[in-house]
Structures are given as structure tokens and as C-alpha cells.
Structure 1
């Protein structure tokens, strides 16, 4: 049941006077629910509870945390049709997408449960003492990772489940032993409250401390700003726009105690179409990319927004087929009128730029909040000269750049902002003649794809969902996969500490049975 209230720890609260509603973009009208924006008093109470809970939660056994994470997944599934119906009402996305994203969310939670049980994530390292070493004795040093404290997580507009209330940021933070305060996304606050209720129920039933999780509503930016500035918040997870992520990053940096902000912000995901690949399979790739550009109405962070090729008849044929396919795909609903309006504005501005030509656009009438998919083209020289052409258009939009030669192609990639993905479309052995292009792409992306499309992010340890700025604020980390946990922990060394007082992960007898680096060698044995 949706109440519209905030979860301050285990308790529902509506102390604030500001209210708002979510919006059904398909029906083009507000939903029935009324939500209460968190007050400053509620923010203070949630952070105080989180800080208090942290001192207990960080010492809970891995086994108890495993039970907690698994229980959250179970409770999300128990929400059943109410969650799916609410998700679809607040986003305009289809039921199949909602169920798929729910499955991914629960999979992430269970994956982190399995991972923390292994214990390797604490990075236990032991160098035993050598008291007789000359010219000075060597102390006993033992190091492991510990949680940093309460984390503020910002829900994403385009993934109401997998990147929001119980998404990768929340799952990884809870797995590490850090309490979480979610700043729910205003576009899907009802979906967020239902998921929050599942997390709170799981916390109660697994005897987690009150304050291990809170969920705060907000229609604007004030609640998020207050959270990031609060002295008891020790880290931030964010998925959204470059403007929003950079504002939070700057705010966190200006604090008396600066804190890390792990933001995934924007990407146009360049695709290089090599000449032989276009000659032999250009039609196939054009059809594949028409589908990729319009998938989910282009509202994926990995949407292929830039297609690069060397000027040739084959590139022209590719563009012709791509344009035809794009024009015939049925338009679909965007997440919110605000997003649809921004898409219309940015795509229109792109077409109006000098040297940019409209290659294809969905014709005819479209329903309110539905997007007209679009492809434009420009020459390489004009693209290099105009930084505005490098900006992301969030939606079913892509730009084809006709380069004069390989040198111009490499220059474009080298000068590009950081990206989440980069793709090379190549025939067998063709790529060997484009080492400079590949090297340039490696320097600008977090994931390098060969003969595929960038849309689709597999949840597994080898996935890197991040990249050089502004794709993310720290290219070493991402929000997808088990290594996301490394964002919420820090190393702590113990020197000459009595064995019985050490954490279990560092004790001589290795009671957890985890893999440790002992005197330079990995081992699960006791010392």
C-alpha cells in the first residue's frame, strides 16, 4: 500500500508540508497518490538513525547480512502485481520491462549476498612480524577493508528498480555494512515506497538495527543537497545527468570533511563502423542499430548516440538503410513529460546546428510524451569544430559522422569526453589496420565492445559500467556487479595487534575460512 510518507528508519513520517504527485506519461495525467517531501527535521532524524545503526551494522556477521539481502529480494518479489502496476503507471514502460527489471534487482541483491559470504571483498592482507630482522625489526601488519559509514543513494529516472531504491548502489552499500538513505526519485516515488517497504520489512525480520535504511521523498533538489552536505553522510551514489551529478560532486568536495561521490552521469557511446564491415554487412548493422537506438525509447545510458565511419558509398548506404528502419519503428512513450520536452528541445537544437543535416525522423502524429526517433549526419571537420555536437541527447537520437580518413576518425575519438562504452564494428582481421583507433577508444571508455551494440549491461564481475569523466566521477568504479562494493569501504591496517582482538578476517586461525594474502601468497590456511 502506498502512503506517500517517508520511511525514517522503520517508521513512516509526513512531518513536511510540501506535497507532490507522480505522473502517468501514457495517460498524460497525474497519478492518484500524494507524496510528502521530507522536512529538514526528518532528514536530520534519518541521518542520526543511520549513524547510530552504523556502529552496530558494520559489525554484523557476514551470515546475517546475507540473510538480510536475500530477504529484501524475497520481499520485493512478494510485492507482486502491485509493484509492477505502479511501475508501469509511473513510467509508461511496458509490463515486460518492469518484470525484467525486478528480476535484475533481485538477482543483484542475491549476487551480493553470495559475494560477501566468500569474504574476499575485505581484501585481507597479512605480513607477519620478523623480530630479528636487521637493521630493524619488522612489525606484524594486517590490513582489511572496512565500511565508511552512511551512504546517500539517489534513485535514477530511467531504472526505477535496478538503479534506484534497492538497486546496485543500495545493494552494494548494505552488503559492505553501510546504512543507506535513499533520496527517492520524484518520477517514481510510489514504486520507490513499495520497494522501501520491502527493505524495511526485511530489516525488521532479520533483526537489523533501526536506521539501517531510510527512504526520503523529494520533488526538487533541496532534500538531496541537504543529504550530501550532512556531516553524518560519508558517501554518495548517483545515476543521472551531468549537471546533477557534478553539482553533488562539487557540494561534497566543499564540505569540511569531503566525501566521495560515485556518479554515473552521461555518455553518447561512440560506435566506429570500419569500411569492410560496412561493405559486407552494412545492411545487417543498420537494422541492428536502428533497434538499439530506439530500445526503451533511447532512455538508456548506453544508447548509441554517435556513429563514426570513413566517408564512402558503403557508409552512405548504411545511413540510408538506418534512416529507413528508424522511420518505420513505432514511437514509444518517454518516462515523463519533462524528459519528452527536453528531448524535443535538444534534438531540435542539434538539427539547427551548422553543417548538421536531418537524415531521418519519424513522420506523422505522435501521442503526448511519445518521442520522434531521429538520425542526423555531419562531416568530421564540423563535428570537431563544434563542441555542442558532442553533447548527449537523452532519447532515441543518434548522429552519424562522416570522417575523411582514419586520422580524422582517431582525432575525434581522442578529443571526445569520457564514455561508458565504445564499439568497433569490424570484419575479421580488419581491425588490425586500425590500432590507432582502438588505442584512442581504450583511453576514452570503460567498456570496449567488438561487433555488437552497447545497449544491455550484463550483471557480472567482469562488467565495467563506468568510464572517464563525465561518464562517471571515478573511472575505477561502477555501480554494476560485485566490485561496486569497493566504493563503500576503505583499508585499515592493524600493527602489532593482539590476535584475540583482531577482526575474524585477520586472526591467525582464519575462522571465516576466507582467501587472504599472507606474506605474499594467497591462502585459506591458518597461520
Structure 2
């Protein structure tokens, strides 16, 4: 049974919910598959109406959903109201994309008389929905990356039914949002298979879902370990399927002397607040800060340490996350050649952790994989480099990252170009001001990156290009008129 736990008192509350068994998973997937053809062939008006209806329903139930989410997560009503707003915004945003024809785009090459290569038949390139999608909810965003989050919204917009694997960290909220969504679908006369949900605390439910032969793609946001294991399951199927996993990263910040000399104290406070935001439980939380050894950079490190020590994060979302954070702290502080600048206070797992800041050299950082592993929580590593060449080596050692932030590259020059080039090679998003926490939902967004940040670096899990993950190209050669008249809408 799944039991909700009050995030502040750590006491159980509410009725325990049954976990999904193998038969439940099978029924959910079969229902999604039964609805698949009709939803794939659905017109823009139907898809947009569902997405907007879900957004309206979320907002309409705000007064009930936000307190429930707060009780299960302890994230606070301000944060959770903002997250609900974002979730409704992206649902409506995908509805707008559907209205604009994004899922139905097609490319038409008219026939040319004659033999190849100059001559050709008529070819029309369209995209078809892949079929039922398994979506794994994340713990740290109970609205925006959960039952009606971006993966669900983008898959529905693409014409794919969704089977949600709810996160066990907020089972009551997940059930409430799912029931809300079912009501919207029923009111619009849609097949209930368009959106299904399964729940379970162990790995069995998720593995069964990925292995099910009717599931045609997987969207996942979570840990590297969990995502890599599920990707292996997706690849081991008799019919391997796409696995779109966002696995987190350490999001380096390259702080060049020019920026620090100008506004180092301000940037120190901004960065400290970003690392402590949400108790560091964001996939875009900055985990590595690269500085040179000049006077302005060293003054920045001191101000940064002071600002981070003054932060007071809230408790972590689950005891498991706190245990993993404590293990990461021990790994960093116990590593040879690492100096602790801000130490974590020893405290029970139920108490909010204090931030950690350690410092090391570029040589040690690039040589040790242990220093480059993500610590999910309010922790960061300062890496001292001699010059731009060492900064580039640090970025290459990090490998794939969701983001890289470069401060001080406003003026073109060899040093700036080399660092920016390296940043673009390893990250899905490169920032030149601000901090990486906060991911805008927009057409130009890319939330992904080379392995190990994500399993599919050419795709994004945030922004309107996310629906491209669930549409497969098909070239129609000399198609009959009735098919071309559908203008990219599946038949």
C-alpha cells in the first residue's frame, strides 16, 4: 500500500492507496492502446480542447490541490502555486502549438518528370504519433513534472495516449490530479484510455510498464541510476523503444575575472541563493563553480562562501534523498585534496541540511570521477583554474550537462570563444547571465544535453519542441488525394 507522509511532522495521513499490480499495469496499457488510433487521428480542436480543459481544471481545484501538495512535499504554498501556474501555462502553450498545426507539419515535394536523379515521384513527409507513452513523474516537481506535467502535455499534443507512473512521494496528490483529468476527458466525450495512471513504491511497476509490448516510448525525469536502469529495459525489449530520460547534471558555472571584478559580490549572493533554492533539489542547480586565481576571483569565492553559509534551505523531499545527499557530502569532504569552505552541520535526516561548499584544483577535479558526480542537494564544488585552457579541460571532464553558465564573456576574444565553444559542446543550454535554475517554457528552449545529462541529447523535455519526441516521420510517395487532404493528420 502507498501511504502519504506529512512532510513536516513525518506522520502518515490519509487513506493508504493500493499499489498497481501486473494486471493493473496491463489494463492501463491496453486501455491506452485501444484509444491510440482514434487519438492519433484526432483533429487539432479535440487535442487543444483537452489540454485547455486540463489547465482550467487544475486552476479550478487550486485551493484543494496546493495544500495537499504542500502536506506531501513541504515545498510551501508560494512555490507550489507558482508551479501550478507553470503547469497550466504549458498545457495551454501546447494547445496553442496544436492550434498552429505543429503536430501536423508536412513537407511536400511535387513530382518531377524524368529519370532520377533529376526526376522523382511526389513525396510528402508527414509525422505520425508513435503510440502509447509511459511517463515517469518526478519527485521534485509535483505539478510541473508529474501527472499533467510537460511530458504528458507534449505527448497528448502529439496525439499519443499516456500511461503515467505516479511518484510515490506524493501519492494522494497524484491520485487527485489524475481523477481531475479523468473528469475532464469524460466531460469531453474522450476515451478514458487517453490518460491512464499506475502507482507503486518499488521498481516492479515501472519495469513492467517499460517492458509492456504496447508501450511505444518512455519519458523519464529522475536520477541517473534509475533512468539508466529503465533505459536498459527499453533497449532490451524484443522491440526496443525510444527512452527520453532527463537524468540531472552538475551544471558548471564559469566565472571569468571580468565579471567578478565588476559585480562579484552581487553574483556571489545570486549564486548562493540558486544553490539553496528548493534545497538544491533541481536538475539545474549549479554544482561546480570554476574561478581563476586572480584577486577578484578569490574575493568572490570568499563572498560566495559567506552568502551560502547564510542560506537556510528547507528539509529535503524524502528520507532517501537526504541519505543520498549525506553520502555525497561525505564523498566530497573525505576526498584527498579537497578543502571544505562551508561545512554541513550534523543533524537528523528530518532536519533541513545546511549547504556544503568545497574547493579543489583543476588537476584533482579532472582526475577524479568522484568529484564530478552530482550531489542532489545544496552543495557545490569550487574549482580553481590557472587560465582558460584549464577551464576548458574542466568542462570536458564534466562531460554532458543540462546547462553551463559563462559569466564575463561579453567581449569577443580567444579566451571567451574557447570557453563558449567548450560549453556548447557539453551542454544543452548555455547562459551568459543569471543562474540556471528556472527553465522557461518556450519554443526556443532546450532542456537536455549529452550523456549523462540525458539519454537523447537531440530532444528536449521542456519547451514546445518536446512534442517532436512522440512523432515519427513517414514519407508518403504518390499518396492518394484523400490522404494528402488530411494535411498531416493521421488517418
- TM-score for the superposition, normalised by structure 1: 0.90
Matches within 5 A, 1:19-418: 19-132=1-114, 138-361=120-343, 363=345, 368-418=350-400
The corresponding residue for 1:483 is 465
CA offsets per residue over residues 168-189 of structure 1, 9 Å max, x none?
1000001111000000000011
Shift of the 348–33 alpha-carbon distance from structure 1 to 2, 3 Å rule, reads farther
How big is the shift at 1:427? Answer: 6.4
Kept after mapping to 2: 8 A contact 1:336/1:369: no
Shift of the 132–385 alpha-carbon distance from structure 1 to 2, 3 Å rule, reads closer
Shift of the 431–240 alpha-carbon distance from structure 1 to 2, 3 Å rule, reads farther
Shift of the 365–138 alpha-carbon distance from structure 1 to 2, 3 Å rule, reads closer
Shift of the 134–477 alpha-carbon distance from structure 1 to 2, 3 Å rule, reads closer
Please give the secondary structure, in 1, of the residue aligned with 2:14. coil
Q: Which consecutive unaligned segments of at least 5 residues does structure 1 have?
A: 1-18, 508-527
CA offsets per residue over residues 454-496 of structure 1, 9 Å max, x none?
1111111111111111111111111111110000010112212
The corresponding residue for 1:502 is 484
Shift of the 312–52 alpha-carbon distance from structure 1 to 2, 3 Å rule, reads same
In structure 2, how many angstroms separate the alpha carbons of the residues matched to 1:174 and 1:121? Answer: 10
Kept after mapping to 1: 8 A contact 2:130/2:471: yes
Shift of the 506–196 alpha-carbon distance from structure 1 to 2, 3 Å rule, reads closer
How big is the shift at 1:431? Answer: 5.9
How big is the shift at 1:393? Answer: 0.4
Larger deviation, residues 263-272 vs 278-287: 278-287
In structure 2, how many angstroms separate the alpha carbons of the residues matched to 1:136 and 1:404? Answer: 57
Q: Which residue of 445, 457, 466 corresponds with 2:439?
A: 457
The corresponding residue for 2:453 is 471
In structure 2, how many angstroms separate the alpha carbons of the residues matched to 1:297 and 1:88? Answer: 15
Please give the secondary structure, in 2, of the residue aligned with 1:480. coil
Larger deviation, residues 197-206 vs 218-227: 197-206
Kept after mapping to 1: 8 A contact 2:277/2:313: no
Larger deviation, residues 35-44 vs 23-32: 23-32
RMSD (CA atoms):
1.8
In structure 1, how many angstroms separate the alpha carbons of the residues matched to 2:11 and 2:412? Answer: 52
Please give the secondary structure, in 1, of the residue aligned with 2:460. coil
How big is the shift at 1:132? Answer: 5.0
Kept after mapping to 2: 8 A contact 1:142/1:506: no
The corresponding residue for 2:402 is 420
In structure 2, how many angstroms separate the alpha carbons of the residues matched to 1:383 and 1:142? Answer: 51
CA offsets per residue over residues 231-275 of structure 1, 9 Å max, x none?
000000000001111111111111111000000002100000111
Shift of the 357–65 alpha-carbon distance from structure 1 to 2, 3 Å rule, reads same
Kept after mapping to 1: 8 A contact 2:276/2:312: no
In structure 2, how many angstroms separate the alpha carbons of the residues matched to 1:250 and 1:349? Answer: 27
The corresponding residue for 1:448 is 430
Shift of the 282–366 alpha-carbon distance from structure 1 to 2, 3 Å rule, reads farther
Please give the secondary structure, in 2, of the residue aligned with 1:181. strand
Please give the secondary structure, in 1, of the residue aligned with 2:324. helix
How big is the shift at 1:385? Answer: 1.4
Q: Which residue of 396, 399, 420 corresponds with 1:438?
A: 420
Shift of the 105–135 alpha-carbon distance from structure 1 to 2, 3 Å rule, reads closer
Q: Which consecutive unaligned segments of at least 5 residues does structure 2 have?
A: none
In structure 2, how many angstroms separate the alpha carbons of the residues matched to 1:134 and 1:323? Answer: 67
Aligned residue pair count? 489
Kept after mapping to 2: 8 A contact 1:332/1:371: yes
Shift of the 503–219 alpha-carbon distance from structure 1 to 2, 3 Å rule, reads farther
How big is the shift at 1:428? Answer: 4.3
Please give the secondary structure, in 2, of the residue aligned with 1:63. helix
Kept after mapping to 2: 8 A contact 1:305/1:393: yes
Kept after mapping to 1: 8 A contact 2:287/2:375: yes
Kept after mapping to 1: 8 A contact 2:103/2:471: no
How big is the shift at 1:503? Answer: 5.1
